[in-house]
Amino acid sequence: MGPSGVGKRTLLNAILEKYSDLFEKKRSVTTRKPREGESMGVFDFVSAADFHRMKEANDFIEHRERLHGTMYGTTKSELKRIQD
């Protein structure tokens, strides 16, 4: 945990690269807009309406709303994918 730009993702990527046989990065669902050069993979970008539908359908193992209303969550299907 740390402030934006401190290098959290850089550290995580180094660990994932070194121990790729032990760890895998999970995809999160988010309502935020993709950043420049970002595509599906780490995030599944959805509309707020789709996110709420997924929440109502109990698709998430966890979810949260961040400052400014952006929503993030991890789906049960994503955890199942990693476990299989």
Per-residue pLDDT tens for 11-20? 988 998 899 8
The pTM of this model reads 0.73
- Domain with 35, as residue range(s), is 26-83
pLDDT, averaged across the chain = 89
CATH (domain of 64): 3.30.63.10
- Does residue 78 form part of some domain? yes
pLDDT at 34: 86
- Does residue 16 form part of some domain? no
Q: Which residue has the higher pLDDT, 71 or 8?
A: 71
Residue 70 pLDDT exceeds 70? yes
Q: Which residue has the higher pLDDT, 66 or 51?
A: 51
- Does residue 42 form part of some domain? yes
Give the position of tokens 């895998």. Answer: 24
- Does residue 19 form part of some domain? no
Instruction: State how far the Cα of 48 lies from the Cα of 51, in Å rounded to an integer.
Output: 5
Instruction: State how far the Cα of 1 lies from the Cα of 22, in Å rounded to an integer.
Output: 21
- The count of domains in the chain is 1
- Does residue 57 form part of some domain? yes
